[in-house]
Amino acid sequence: MIFSYARRLWMEDLLLLLALLVVVALRPGGALSTPLAVGIAFALVWGFATLHVPSRIDISPSGVSFSRYGRTHTFVWRDVARVRVRRFLVRDRVLVRLLPSPPWRGRYWVGEGIEGYSEVVRELSAHSENKAP
């Protein structure tokens, strides 16, 4: 099953990039302009490196894939020792964690804006229960 966002997530990245360009071009001065520019750049690079907010999730009997920016992180169920779906008080998102995985993979935010949000959470939670020790 393939799940994706109805709206494009690239708008968020575009807004961050525009904010970075404004801060760099205008050089507003003050103590916070440099940390702001560094923080925006870090957020963009971290998002590209980790795919922590995927635009598409593909769940199949053999595994799960998280995709964004034309890149994909794929996990085969037999290689996954643990799946954790963490819910929060703000119920509009969950954090999915797959183990074992290196620090830049295996942690993904899934928001309710994704088509089939309830089904994604249910499917991943089912694998979480199956992997429990």
Decide which of 28 and 79 is more confident.
Answer: 79
For the segment 56-60, the average pLDDT, to the nearest whole number, is 96
* pLDDT band (50, 70, 90) for residue 130: low
Task: Check residue 128 and report its DSSP letter.
Answer: H
pLDDT value of residue 28 = 82
Architecture of the 2-131 domain? Roll (2.30)
pTM of the model: 0.83
pLDDT, position 76: 95
Compute the Cα dihedral for 79, 56, 60, 130 and give only its sign.
positive
Report which secondary-structure segment, H or E, holds 99. strand 93-99
The yes-or-no verdict on residue 78 having pLDDT over 80 is yes
What is the distance of C-alpha 30 from the center of its chain?
32
- Looking at residue 23, its amino acid is V
